[in-house]
Amino acid sequence: MPIAIKMPALSPTMEEGTLAKWLVKPGDTISSGDLMAEIETDKATMEFEAVDEGILASIAVEEGTEGVKVGTVIAMLAEEGEDVDEVAKGGTADEGEEPEAEKEPEAQKDPEPVEGDKGEKAEKAADAGRAAPEPAPEPTGDRIIASPLAKRIAEQQGIDLATVTGSGPNGRIVKADVESAEAGTTAPAKSQEDAQADQPSAKAPAKPASASDHGAPYEEEKLSSVRKIIARRLTESKQQVPHYYLAVDVRLDALLDLRKQINATLEADGVKLSVNDLLIKALARALMRVPQCNVSFQRETIHKYSRADVSVAVAAPSGLITPIITEADTRGLASISTQMKALAEKARDGKLQPHEYQGGTASLSNLGMFGIKQFDAVINPPQGMIMAVGAGEPRPYVVDGSLQIATVMTASGSFDHRAIDGADGAQLMEAFKQLCENPMGLVV
């Protein structure tokens, strides 16, 4: 029997996602393990692998569709010996139930043209209670088959679907067909604003590429799933987590000398430590020295961790993401460096797996490479703290009782006061400073 391919849950917290790109097309032979699509979750864009085997009969959710609920049928697979055309007819969104992500309120949907009196009655029923629109072109007699997303785009862009040739299964009009068509004379369509206000329908003009807001020109860009979740989580963090901030100046000369020596030793192995690698290790060791700060707030309880998993902020094209260096307190510096480079590359390519960015007992954010001297970072719940480090720069500094020039970095800790008292936070900052200024503690 036909196999329904459903929107997968690619992470424990995923409820919906964006079907970013199809990597297969109807008619392709699918084997278990084949990559079928790229799906954008709340954290990254991930590849979806096939579990079953067969021939892809139809695609029910077009690429680019946002808000596709987990469990929604996105495609149909025909098993060996089945009629692919029959499976396609039975599996499209037009023949069966539309995916939840593409359903629209009834007031916004145009009735599909049908033959004869039934078509006229359907149109009259849909237009009951509102002003009659301008006369629309009569259907050619053939039923127009189009995906809900294609219909929506056609309505917004003023495109008559009767003039569009479909490239989907059985001539189905899909998103790409509408986008490549030129706007012509159309049946009047109801805009979303008019539909909500129950006003007479009008032609929906094509949205301009840019507009003005109180005289300031701008371009509108839709939020990605990643940006939406960043906005939601950080807003919740600032509203619900009582932050307090502590800052210390750290002399880096000894740490920079140690880094130079280690890199000279590891050069033959192709390993090159960054300052950030050493700071990850320093934070992890400091958390083990002050375990009161290696915690997370869990409403009625506090989780106290016996190892330090450090989440490291990485700027990816889709938004900020925090891959995790697990067991950073016991890992060697070379291992931290190698893993950090691999995770950062995967983060920028949107290829991180859920276990590589979910979790962590504390976070580190470094903006020193941009010349930032000091900043306060927002805590990533349910973690109890995040360390923000700025640039190391030459500053006047008292060394052995005399004023000298030293390389100094400002580190700022943001702490969740529900889980970590001020005195404990101060001890962590002191331990971090000591480990950076006496870095042999990072290699023994």
Q: Give me the domains of the chain, ranges plus CATH numbers.
A: 3-102 (2.40.50.100), 106-207 (4.10.320.10), 227-442 (3.30.559.10)
Asked if 355 is an active-site residue, the reply is: no
The arrangement of strands across the sheet holding 3-6 comes to 3-6, 73-78, 54-59, 29-30
- As a whole number of angstroms, the distance between CA 364 and CA 309 comes to 11
Q: Are 325 and 312 contacting, i.e. CB atoms less than 8 angstroms apart?
A: yes
Q: Are 46 and 358 contacting, i.e. CB atoms less than 8 angstroms apart?
A: no
pTM equals 0.62
**pLDDT tens, N- to C-terminus, the chain (444 residues):** 788 899 988 776 778 888 888 999 998 998 888 889 988 876 677 788 888 888 898 999 998 888 899 999 999 888 877 888 888 777 444 433 444 444 444 444 444 444 444 444 444 444 444 444 444 444 444 567 777 667 777 777 778 887 888 776 567 787 777 777 754 444 444 444 444 444 444 444 445 555 556 788 888 888 877 788 888 889 999 999 999 999 999 999 999 999 999 999 998 888 999 999 999 999 999 999 999 999 999 989 999 999 999 999 999 887 889 999 999 999 999 999 999 999 999 988 888 888 899 899 999 999 999 999 999 999 999 999 999 999 999 999 999 899 999 999 999 999 999 999 999 999 999 999 999 999 999 998
- As a whole number of angstroms, the distance between CA 419 and CA 359 comes to 17
Three-state secondary structure call for residue 212: strand
Q: Tell how far CA 271 is from the center of its chain.
A: 31
- As a whole number of angstroms, the distance between CA 73 and CA 39 comes to 14
Determine which helix (DSSP H) or strand (DSSP E) holds 231, and give its type and residue range. helix 225-240
Three-state secondary structure call for residue 85: helix
Find where tokens 């939020």 sit: 223
